[in-house]
């Protein structure tokens, strides 16, 4: 009988036969090995299951198939069937690039019981593995809170959090798959402290397969309601709401994608630099 794992790595997937192997390999390559991997297949219709067959021989890897219910239910289902004290999220088209990622995060959380959630920097890549940009979010809890209403300053696929904190919250909001990770992290910030490592932990595949490319306007409208929900828990609500409202209005402009550079300059002029640091290739 296998010993109870300290960490449960949750990998939701849907039609990711091309990518999921790299995600799993990056988890298996971690120097910290006291984990289980739970893959939740959200009703894939491609050859995802066949791509997973070689990995399922490893007793640490569990496979759950469910009818298509979207990412929030898939993650909740995976965590419900997990045994770890800590939960690590990893999307099936992303991969971890720091072999000591889990070790660093678990060591930090074990030594700092007042912290509930950690993450790290991300490198965005294209389908050919070429770097597009690098992003680091604010490190300290107080700095993260200062800007948490402006954008999600915790990278989901690099996140590790306490299972007991997740249980207190009740998990991901299954009523919506719009900004579901941001909402969970906002809730966690009401319970304990947040921390971002300043190392790059994640390769994030930026392409047509990303959910963020779909229903963008709907997502922007949803974010306005999200800000209202947490306006008493985090500072600078009015400024954050104004920025998000401008993004929403901007989404209606003809050819708005082509004038992004101009819009970004105007936003920086009126609202200052963003809280995160992005280096473009």
Confidence of residue 278 (pLDDT cuts 50, 70, 90): confident
Q: Cα–Cα distance between 226 and 239 in angstroms, integer?
A: 14
Tokens of 246: 């401008």
Instruction: Specify which residues 35 forms β-bridges with.
Output: 7
pLDDT at 213: 46
| Number of residues written out for the chain | 281
Say which DSSP state 45 is in.
-
More confident: 274 or 33? 33
pLDDT at 85: 98
Q: Cα–Cα distance between 177 and 194 in angstroms, integer?
A: 23
- Judge whether residue 48 has pLDDT over 50: yes
Residue 30 CA: distances (Å) to CA of 24, 159, 205: 10, 15, 20
Contact, 184 vs 173, CB < 8 A?
yes
pLDDT at 264: 64
CATH match for 7-213 among 3.60.20.30, 3.40.50.720, 3.40.50.10070, 3.90.550.10: 3.90.550.10
For the chain, which residues make up each domain, given as ranges?
7-213, 216-280
Contact, 53 vs 17, CB < 8 A?
no
Q: Cα–Cα distance between 152 and 109 in angstroms, integer?
A: 21
The candidate with the shortest Cα–Cα distance to 105, out of 115, 95, 119, 91, is 119
Contact, 98 vs 144, CB < 8 A?
no
DSSP 243-264: HHHHHHHHTTSTTGGGGHHHHH
The H helix count followed by the E strand count for the chain is 10, 10
Q: Cα–Cα distance between 107 and 279 in angstroms, integer?
A: 28
pLDDT digits (tens, 9 = 90+) for 235-276: 999 999 998 898 888 888 776 566 566 656 666 666 677 787
pLDDT (average), residues 102-111: 98
Q: Cα–Cα distance between 79 and 88 in angstroms, integer?
A: 10
């Amino acid at each position: 009988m296998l010993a109870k794992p300290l960490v449960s790595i949750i990998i939701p997937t849907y039609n990711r036969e091309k990518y999921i192997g790299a995600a799993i390999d990056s988890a298996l390559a971690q120097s910290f090995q006291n984990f289980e991997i739970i893959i939740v297949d959200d009703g894939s219709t491609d050859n995802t299951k066949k791509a997973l067959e070689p990995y399922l021989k490893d007793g640490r890897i569990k496979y759950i198939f469910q009818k298509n219910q979207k990412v929030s239910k898939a993650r909740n289902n995976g965590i419900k069937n997990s045994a770890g004290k800590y939960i690590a999220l990893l999307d099936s088209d992303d991969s971890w690039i720091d072999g000591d990622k889990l070790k660093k995060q678990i060591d930090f959380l074990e030594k700092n019981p007042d912290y509930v959630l950690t993450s790290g920097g991300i490198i965005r890549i294209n389908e050919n593995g070429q770097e597009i940009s690098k992003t680091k979010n604010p490190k300290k809890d107080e700095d993260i809170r200062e800007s948490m209403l402006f954008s999600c300053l915790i990278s989901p696929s690099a996140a590790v959090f306490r299972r007991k904190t997740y249980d207190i919250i009740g998990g991901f909001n299954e009523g919506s798959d719009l900004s579901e990770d941001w909402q969970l992290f906002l809730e966690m910030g009401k319970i304990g402290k947040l921390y971002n490592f300043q190392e790059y932990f994640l390769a994030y595949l930026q392409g047509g397969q990303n959910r963020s490319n779909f229903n963008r306007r709907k997502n922007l409208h949803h974010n306005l309601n999200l800000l209202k929900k947490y306006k008493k828990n985090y500072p600078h609500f009015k400024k954050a709401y104004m920025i998000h409202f401008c993004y929403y209005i901007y989404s209606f402009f003809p050819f708005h994608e082509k004038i992004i550079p101009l819009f970004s300059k105007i936003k920086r002029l009126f609202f200052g630099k963003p809280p995160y640091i992005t280096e473009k290739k």
